[in-house]
């Protein structure tokens, strides 16, 4: 009798997800812990492993469907039910009785019957199914062809509208890599977009052609969070600059040594460490509020969220216990976090537990902005691109490298004076980087 594999609880607070890929087909032999579907939930994509085994008899969802926790994904005939019955040896019929004969009739001797060896039952062995390097993609004719591409590449191709079947991969064994997809996008741009698939839902709004796409789950989540923050959190933003001339000199003198260890040393690890140390000295910035209970919740730990720009939207993983890390550890973990987020190799738990957020606008360009607070946190710091400016130092005007900083904070909890003192503390660390190197 077939059983249903239902979407399990993925993480706290996650109730549903959008199906990005279905990784199995009807008739496949499913193993325990084999990945079944790829789901987009909140800001993370996850692969859902099976907790049943057997032969798949039905797939109860399609790509693009939103499925809820507890909803059936597959119907599976358990392995035990599908196993053939063991072959047993047939019983040997006893020899028929020999009737009594007259004395004059001589009976031929009957040869003894050799005993029949019992036949051992044939065990049911399910074939070993290895996860394919290629993923079947259905063509317009309904025929499935194999496309050699990883989940992150397939997701990227969907987002930029590229048909993977049209690409010859340049990776190992013909595997499609990111540069192959980008090449098609660039060629499509030069040729008016002929190399990319037209977006689904092309139509007109009465003034000209438009195309309509389903809003990705991540963008829906961002929209809800931004609306929540804007409507519940009265925000004020302080703007200031930090003189990072000395810090930049230290960075330049150290970056080759870090690079030899596989670490790219930017100014971001110094900023993260400065913020983490300042949060310890100004606990009200590292707190949240519960108006229903009339409470202020002070966090005795410092987890700094780092806003990372990806093709799918802004993702904010949390750097745990940043105040306890040295500059090399911060730099190493920041690089790993960025790689994991951009490749989609992270979990929902990686996005939780932050107490303060840093957004690096300077990596793209720009100086000041008014960042939206990542509630329930109560403050966020945006850093712009450092630039050389004339600055009065003593009685002289000197050219100094200045880092623009924008601190937004929840005015329900944080007063302007508290915000200014915190920002001054951060600036103090950045302008005297030796304090960061010695900080514990």
In degrees rounded to 5, what are phi and psi of residue 400? -125, 150
Residue bearing tokens 């810090």? 247
SS3 call for 265 = coil
Q: What is the mean pLDDT of residues 326-343?
A: 90
CA-CA distance, 377 to 374, in Å (whole number)? 6
User: Considering the chain, what percentage of its residues have pLDDT values greater than 70?
Assistant: 78
Query: How far from each other are the two terminal CA atoms of the chain, in whole angstroms?
Result: 62
What average pLDDT does the segment 314-337 reach? 92
List, for residues 265-322, the tens digit of each pLDDT value. Answer: 999 999 999 999 999 999 999 999 998 899 999 999 999 999 988 877 788 999 999 9
Q: Which domains does the chain have, with CATH numbers?
A: 1-81 (2.40.50.100), 234-438 (3.30.559.10)
Answer yes or no: are the C-beta atoms of 337 and 306 closer than 8 Å.
yes
Q: Can you tell me the distance from the alpha carbon of 361 to that of 385, in angstroms, rounded to the nearest whole number?
A: 7
> In which region does residue 33 sit, left (phi positive, over 0), alpha (psi from -120 to 50) or beta (all else)?
left
Q: Please give the distance of CA 410 from its chain centroid, rounded to a whole number.
A: 29
Residue with tokens 């003189």: 243
3-state class of 344 per DSSP?
Answer: coil
Quickly list H helices, 204-312.
217-232, 245-260, 268-281
Interstrand relation of 304-310 and 356-360 (parallel, antiparallel or unpaired): parallel
pTM for this predicted structure: 0.63
Q: Who's near 136: CB < 8 A, 6+ residues apart?
A: 25, 144, 145, 146, 147
DSSP structure class, residue 375: T
Beta bridge partners of 240: 405
Is the Cβ–Cβ distance between 25 and 58 less than 8 Å? no
Tokens of 222: 């961002």
Q: How many residues does the chain have?
A: 440
Catalytic residue among 173, 211, 227, 411: 411
Q: CA-to-CA distance for 3 and 7, rounded, in angstroms?
A: 13
Higher pLDDT, 101 or 240: 240
| Three-state DSSP class for residue 115 | coil
Q: Is the CB of residue 304 less than 8 Å from the CB of residue 149?
A: no
For the stretch 382-426, pLDDT in tens is 999 999 999 998 899 999 999 999 999 999 999 999 999 999 999
* Per-residue pLDDT, 363: 76
Alpha-carbon torsion 62, 66, 72, 76, what sign?
A: positive
* Percent of the chain topping pLDDT 90: 35
User: pLDDT grade, residue 378 (50/70/90)?
Assistant: very high
Closest among 235, 250, 285 to 423, alpha carbons compared: 285
CA distances from 21 to 7, 155, 205, 259 (A): 14, 9, 31, 37
Identify which has the larger pLDDT, 121 or 284: 284
Look at residue 88 in the predicted model and tell me its pLDDT.
52
Residues 6 or more apart in contact with residue 328 via CB below 8 angstroms: 258, 261, 263
Provide the strand spans (E) within 226-343.
235-243, 287-290, 295-298, 304-310, 313-315, 318-319
* CA–CA dist 111, 366 (Å, integer): 103
Note the pLDDT tens digit of each residue in 207-254. 888 888 777 777 888 888 888 888 888 999 999 999 999 999 999 999
Q: Per the structure block, which two tokens stand in for 308?
A: 């990372």
Beta bridge partners of 48: 37
Residue bearing the bigger pLDDT, 261 or 86:
261
How far is CA 241 from each of CA 4, 32, 378, 406, 427, rounded to the nearest angstrom? 59, 56, 21, 9, 8
pLDDT at residue 93 greater than cutoff 90: no
Contact 173, 148 (CB under 8 A): yes
Active site residue 411: yes
Mean per-residue pLDDT over the chain, rounded: 80
Give backbone dihedrals phi and psi of 326, rounded to 5 degrees, phi first.
Answer: -85, 170
* Segment 161-194, tens digit of pLDDT: 787 878 888 887 788 888 888 888 777 656 554 4
CA 141 remoteness from chain centre? 33
């Amino acid at each position: 009798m077939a059983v249903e594999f239902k979407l399990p609880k993925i993480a706290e607070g996650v109730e549903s997800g959008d199906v990005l890929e279905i990784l199995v087909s009807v008739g496949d032999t499913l193993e325990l812990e084999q990945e079944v579907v790829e789901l987009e939930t909140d800001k993370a994509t996850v692969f859902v492993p099976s907790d049943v085994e057997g032969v798949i008899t039905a797939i109860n969802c399609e790509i693009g469907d939103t499925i809820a926790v507890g909803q059936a994904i597959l119907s599976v005939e358990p392995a035990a039910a599908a196993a053939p019955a063991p072959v047993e040896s047939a019983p040997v019929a006893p020899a028929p009785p020999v009737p009594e004969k007259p004395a004059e009739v001589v009976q031929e001797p009957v040869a003894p019957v050799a005993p029949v060896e019992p036949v051992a039952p044939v065990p049911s062995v399910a074939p070993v199914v290895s996860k394919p390097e290629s993923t079947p993609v259905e063509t317009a004719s309904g025929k499935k062809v194999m496309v050699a591409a990883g989940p992150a590449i397939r997701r990227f191709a969907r987002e930029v509208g590229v048909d993977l079947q049209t690409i010859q991969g340049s990776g190992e064994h013909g595997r499609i890599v990111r540069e192959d997809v980008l090449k098609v996008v660039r060629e499509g741009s030069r040729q008016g977009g002929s190399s990319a698939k037209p977006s689904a839902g092309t139509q007109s709004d009465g003034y000209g052609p438009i195309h309509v796409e389903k809003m990705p789950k991540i963008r829906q989540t961002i929209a809800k969070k931004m609306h929540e923050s804007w409507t519940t959190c009265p925000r004020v933003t302080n703007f200031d600059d930090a003189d990072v001339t000395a810090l930049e000199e230290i960075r330049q003198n150290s970056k080759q040594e870090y690079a030899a260890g596989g670490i790219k040393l930017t100014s971001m690890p110094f900023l993260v460490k400065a913020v983490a140390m300042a949060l310890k000295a100004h606990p009200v910035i590292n707190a949240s509020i519960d108006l229903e209970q009339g409470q202020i919740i002070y966090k005795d730990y410092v987890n700094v969220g780092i806003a990372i720009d990806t093709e799918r939207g802004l993702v904010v993983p949390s750097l745990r216990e940043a105040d306890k890390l040295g500059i090399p550890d911060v730099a190493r973990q920041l690089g790993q976090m960025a790689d994991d987020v951009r490749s989609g190799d992270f979990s929902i738990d990686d996005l939780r537990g932050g107490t303060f957020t840093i957004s690096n606008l300077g990596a793209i360009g720009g100086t000041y902005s008014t960042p939206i607070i990542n509630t329930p946190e109560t403050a966020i710091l945006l850093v712009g691109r450092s630039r050389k400016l004339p600055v009065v130092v003593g009685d002289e005007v000197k050219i100094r490298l200045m880092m623009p900083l924008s601190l937004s904070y929840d005015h329900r909890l944080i007063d302007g004076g508290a915000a200014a003192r915190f920002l001054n503390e951060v600036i103090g660390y950045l302008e005297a980087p030796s304090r960061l190197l010695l900080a514990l």
